[in-house]
Structure 1
Amino acid sequence: MASHTALLIIDYTNDFVADKGALSCGLPGQKLAPKIVDLADKFVSNGDWVIFPTDVHTPNDPYHPETKLFPPHNVRNTWGREFYGPVAKWYQQNKGQEKVYMYDKTRYSAFAGTDLDLRMRERHVDTLHLVGVCTDICVLHTAVDAYNLNYNLVIHQKGVAALGPEGQTWALDHFKNVLGASVVD
């Protein structure tokens, strides 16, 4: 029987999580690793999809809006774009499986400028579980687009982190009260 569920592990890279990352959430982001690995194991065991929508940039791209907002980050083929810690190890051990793969994205949302929606529809996925960083940026924008595309949303509260506590609180409230997402531990 085909699975209708996917886990999206959003932007869990060194630049967003490691102490020396260009835009790091720091310790709150680092603490997510065990929860993310546990969820990924459960999804793989259930025959569900585990997808890594991952930011990719060209340094100082004059046509990309983030160039004005943030320092260079998640540049292709750099340490900063590699997955962080235990999640990197999990990905290396599981990436050859049909239902586990990395997905390039160049905007906050995993849906903007990609064929992710088409791929999810082809696979009859109707429910997306979101984890990763940053809760109030890329996770939020992915959730908004998923909501507008009529996906069921589950946000794992202990699987997301923001750059600051205010953004975390605001985004979790927004998921639940504006997007109708299930926010779970």
Structure 2
Amino acid sequence: MFGVVVAGRLVQTDYKQVTANQFLFNIVDADSINHVVVFLTGQTPFPEGFGGAVYFAWPSVMGQNWILLGHITNIKPSAIFKVSKLKSTDSSLNPFQTMANQPTDIAQIGISVDPLAELSQQMPATSAAVSNLEPFVEFSKKMVENLFNFVSSFSSQLPLSPTETYIPSSVLHKWYDNFIRKMQQDPYFWRS
């Protein structure tokens, strides 16, 4: 019925049914998890009027902290979630009470089959959503914002036109050198 893909790993379909409407996946090597994809395999659809709330729990010695990632339905049978930034998210929600004591290197993905009316009332963690922008568009936007912020810090007003700001061309050259240096050190620095 369900499948999970952790970025860089093989597909998992080995869920455990813990109640009539709750299913769990164990994800080993939790520290290397960044993105997960949860999907219906196509063998069995949800019953009419139902969908699946997708939860994620990082392992912890203090007990698990379940975070609502989002939903899957027959109309939207798959979803990708960014979970790497959720480690520090605080949540007291624990819809899967039976699995409170897990080893500290195993994360879990829980799927709870609930009525669509209930799912529409739930608020997923906003930091779990994956950007809809294409990577190049997102990069371009971040680059232009970086340029504007950098150059603005060097701008000055000239007495001839007090409503206009001017920027020395050497500032653009300095920004370019800094940007290229950062790209060489970490090509994804702009994502943080």
- Give the TM-score taking structure 1 as reference length: 0.28
Larger Rg: 2
**When you count helix as a share of all residues, which structure comes out higher?**
1
**Greater relative contact order structure (CA < 8 Å, 6+ sep):** 1
Q: Which has the higher strand share?
A: 2
